[in-house]
Structures are given as structure tokens and as C-alpha cells.
Amino acid sequence: MSDTALAFESIAGLSGRIGEGRLSPVKVAEQLLGRIDALDKRLHAFIRVMPEQALAQARAAEIALKCGASLGILHGIPYAAKDLFDVKGLPTTAGTHLLANNIAGQDATVVRKLAAAGMVLLGKTHTVQFAYGAAGINHDHGTPHNPWHPIPHAPGGSSSGSAVAVAAGLVPFALGTDTGGSVRVPAALCGIVGLKTTIGRVSRAGVYPLCWTLDSVGPITRSVEDAALVYQAMQGTDSQDESTAGVASHDTLRGLKDGVKGLRIAFGETTFFDDVDSEVEKAVREAGKVFSSQGAQLASIAVPEVAAAWAEKNRGLLIPAEACAVNRELLDKHFAELDPVIGPRMLTGRTLSAPDYFALLRRYAELREQVRWTLRDVDALIVPTTMAPARPLAAIDASAETYVDYNMRVHRNTGIGNILNLCAVSVPCGFTSEGLPIGLMIYAKPFQEDMALRVAYAYEQATEWHTRHPPLRSPLPPGERG
């Protein structure tokens, strides 16, 4: 199997070859580590690669298989983890040099679950500082390079390195977190798949927090089936994360390939399509025709809770308020050393009073209950993942105003889903005239990840967008990495 073919093979494909003995976990790990070594000087996806640890895990996986002790479909499959996830003995830096000595005493729950499934961790990926930013820019550790363009473009954030690593064929899957779109935005801008889970589905224990009210954990992959496979292993209750209490695991694989015939799929017309780039809107509208051709009942509906959530006057202060609580010491003692964009934005959280904070949480709880009623007769909403595709980093970073504007354009549609606690999948649905990916977002009601994945799988299988890979070129000249 050629290096390129292996790099872009699905988890299911790799697993089949490994299970049949035609491919060894060690060979897979070695080839992908070699690809990381060859390409990541340009891509800057990884903050830390762990070849010795990865190869030791791969050898252990291979020995277990030879002894007939397979752990399942993920056995021997490599992956990467965003540098918010604790890995025992390694620093969790959350995108800042100030946490270089923040050594994890144990694995995050989800890392432990993936190890129990036999997966092989190749390394940790870059993130926006404190995971606070949708464009994907990090002025401290550096910004990963979106592989779809030779000139540095936004990779999307905050799971920037994870998305770049998956899109470029460095790993088949990477862990991400999503507080306002941090799984779905980079998946959309990098032309791959991102699953935003309902809070309570996947434990956040051992994950550096941004905003506990909105934080979720999800997979970034190159196919919907791969997302379903790893999500199946990630979900479940955990005593270290109270949000998972009483949330039973569910089977997302059984109905994954049932199609959309008879399902009620609707364009969400309130706010989601306002001011969207014309090429993005056209691609998403065309996706509706795909669902109609497959027998879905296609409609358009207004979702007033969407506009209400976005219009809430203190909406923009919830994340920085909770982030200030998490990072209080760094803000107080090392403010001048923080990313010059992130620090000031985060500090605005201190302007939110306790009564206003409580009122905002109660308002969000009301909207979450109301949207369940609004969507009672709908199986899934389809909307643009982002309002715009990737833009050049230089243009985004030209001023505070251009940064804030672009950040809003890529996270508005996703952030609304976090407020309403919907689950969602972003899948590629086309390319702009410049060859940049466009994302289609499929929203489902809370705790219906199986439905979101089922609808996404049906679309993916009826189109060819997911089969395209970025035209990786020679390394950029010095100083152009971003």
C-alpha cells in the first residue's frame, strides 16, 4: 500500500487490512510518522510528535492481534489529540508558552477510552490560545497552515492543528473540542468532517476548559462513518464529568446507512443564511436537491430561537466570563505575555455582572426548551457551517476589526448550536472558485447524534466532495508559515 493511499485511507479500510493481517499497526504508525516528519514543517499541525511512545503502542497492538486479542475496529488505528487533552506525563499547553510546565498527571477520560479501544496516539496538535478563536490564529505558538492553498489561509479554530492534520493525511482522526464551533469550523474550512456532540455525551474530564457551560468534545475525521466509529468509543458516562450523569450510550452505527427516505429535512431560514457568501449559499442550497432526490421531505422553516439566541445582548460575554475564571492567574500575572488578540478579548468577560450571568444562563435554558418544540416535526436542519470560506491570514490579521469580523463570519452559525445545545455534523459540500472547501452543517435535536450522522452519511455517499484531497505542495519559503 503506497504512502499516499495509506495516508488517505479510512479508519474502516485500515481496520479491515489490519484485521486480515495485510497491514500491521507498526507499519501504519511508521508511515504516518514519516509523513508528519516530511510535511509538518510546512503545515505546523503538531505541537508535539511522540514517535517512541506511538511505536510502543503500535507494537503492543500488533502483539495483541497476533495473540487473537483484538479490541475492535479501532485497534491499531493512529490518531492525534488537540493540546487541550491531558496525556499523562506530557504538558497540556492550551496554546500558550505559559503552560509549558503544565504536566498532566493522568490521561483525559476520552484519551483513556481510545487507548482501551486499541488506538495509537501519534502526537498533540496546535490550538488557538485557550481555544478562544474561530479563525484558528495563534500568535504565540504559530498558526497551522490550511493545506488547500499555497498562501497561508485560515485553518479554522480552535481545533486548527487537528483539522489540518486530518485534511493533510497525517492522521485519519483527531480529537477536537467545540465551544462555539471549534470542531465544525476547522472541519469546514479544511474540507473534512466534524461532529459536535451534545453536552453530556462525551466526558470533558481532563480537557482544559474554555467555557464549561458550552464546551463539548468531538471527533474530526475524513468521513462520516469514521466519525461514527470513534464517537461510538468516546461516548458514555463518567463520574468526573457531572454533565454525563444519566446519559445512556447509544448505537450510532446500526442506522447509519439507512438513508433519508421519508425523513423531514429543512433549511433553517432564520439568521443562518443572512449575509452568507453567495458561493457558500449556492452550495448549501444545492445540497437540498441531493436530499430530495433521495426521498427526503425537504422544507424551509423559521427557527425563532436562533435569532433570539444571537440577539441576546450579553451573548458575547458568556465565554470570556467563564474563561476569565479558568485563567484568572494568567490574566492577572502574565497579561502582557498572552496572545495580543486573545488576552483583551477574554478580559471583557469581567464586565459581566453576576446577576446578568445568571439571567443569561436562564435565558439559554428557556431557548433550549423552546427549540425542542420548534423542531418537533423536523429530523434535521441544513445550513451553511460558516458564512465564508477560508481567507488569507494576512487579511484577517490586518487589524482588530478585520479579525473580529472574520471570526464572526465563521462562527455565527456554529455558535448558535452551542447555545441551543444541538448536535451537528459538518461535511464538505463543494468548493469556491478559488478551490477552497465549503461546509454543510446538519443540525439535529439534542442527543440525536445518530440522526445527524445518518443524514450526513446519506449526503456524503451521494456526492464526491469527501473524496478530494488538498494539493500538498513543497514547503513554504521561510517566514510564510503563518
Mean pLDDT for the stretch of residues 291-310 = 97
Asked whether residue 480 is domain-assigned, the answer is no
Does residue 205 form part of some domain?
yes
For 210-260, write each residue's pLDDT tens digit.
999 999 999 999 999 999 999 999 999 999 999 999 999 999 999 999 999
CA distances from 341 to 44, 85, 142, 237, 471 (A): 20, 23, 13, 36, 31
Q: Judge contact between 342 and 133, C-beta under 8 A.
A: yes
Q: Assess if residue 41 is contained within a domain.
A: yes
Residue 72 CA, chain-centre distance (Å), reads: 24
pLDDT digits (tens, 9 = 90+) for 438-463: 999 999 999 999 999 999 999 999 99
The pLDDT of residue 423 is above 60? yes
pLDDT at 476: 44
Q: Is the pLDDT of residue 298 over 90?
A: yes
- Inside any domain, residue 476: no
- Say whether pLDDT at 481 is over 80: no
Determine the Cα–Cα distance for residues 307 and 200; give it in Å rounded to an integer: 25
Strands 46-49 and 120-125 turn out to be antiparallel
pLDDT for the residue 472: 85
| Average pLDDT for 89-94 | 98
Q: How many domains does the chain contain in total?
A: 1
168: pLDDT confidence band, cut at 50, 70 and 90?
Answer: very high
C-alpha span between 2 and 463 (Å, rounded): 25
pLDDT for the residue numbered 270: 82
- For residue 474, is it within any domain? no
The answer on pLDDT for 479 being more than 70 is no
Which pLDDT does position 473 carry in this prediction? 59
Please tell me the number of Cα atoms within 13 Å of 199 on its side-chain side.
17
Q: Residue 3 — pLDDT band, cuts 50, 70, 90? A: confident
3-state secondary structure the chain: CCHHHHHCCCHHHHHHHHHCCCCCHHHHHHHHHHHHHHHHHHHCCEEEECHHHHHHHHHHHHHHHHCCCCCCCCCCCEEEEECCECCCCCECCCCCHHHCCCECCCCCHHHHHHHHCCCEEEEEECCCHHHCCCCCCCCCCCCCCCCCCCCCECCCCCCHHHHHHHHCCCCCEEEEEECCCCCHHHHHHCCCEEEECCCCCCCCCCECCCCCCCCEEEEEECCHHHHHHHHHHHCCCCCCCHHHCCCCCCCCCCCCCCCCCCCEEEEECCCCCCCCCHHHHHHHHHHHHHHHHCCCEEEEECCHHHHHHHHCCCHHHHHHHHHHHHCHHHHHHCHHHCCCCHHHHHHHHHHCCHHHHHHHHHHHHHHHHHHHHHCCCCCEEEEECCCCCCCEHHHHCCCHHHHHHHHHHHHHHHHHHHHHCCEEEEEEEEECCCCCEEEEEEEECCCCHHHHHHHHHHHHHHCCHHHCCCCCCCCCCCCCCC
Say if 473 falls within a structural domain: no
Assess whether pLDDT exceeds 80 at residue 477. no
- The yes-or-no verdict on residue 422 having pLDDT over 60 is yes
Task: Report the 10 Å Cβ neighbour count for 429.
Answer: 27
445 within domain boundaries: yes
Is the pLDDT at 143 greater than 90? The verdict is yes
**Spatial distance between the Cα atoms of 127 and 162, rounded to a whole number of angstroms:** 8
Pick from 169, 207, 175, 210: nearest CA to 190: 169
| CATH number of the domain within which 214 lies | 3.90.1300.10
Spatial separation of the C-alpha atoms in residues 183 and 198, rounded to whole Å: 13
Evaluate if residue 474 carries a pLDDT over 70. no
Which residues span the domain enclosing 372? 3-467
**∠ at Cα 25 (21, 27), nearest 5°?**
95
Per-residue CA distances from 48 to 55, 87, 91, 122, 170 (Å): 15, 11, 10, 9, 13
CA dihedral 34, 37, 43, 44 (to 10 degrees): 130
Q: Is the dihedral of CA 388, 320, 333, 344 positive or negative?
A: positive
As given in the structure block, the three cell numbers for residue 219 are 471527533
- In a domain, residue 475? The reply is no
Q: Give the percent of the chain with pLDDT over 70.
A: 98
pLDDT digits (tens, 9 = 90+) for 358-417: 999 999 999 999 999 999 999 999 999 999 999 999 999 999 999 999 999 999 999 999
Q: What pLDDT is stored for residue 1 in this prediction?
A: 77
**Neighbour tally for 424: CB within 10 Å:** 29
482 pLDDT band (50/70/90 cuts)? very low
Residues acting as catalytic residues:
82, 158, 182
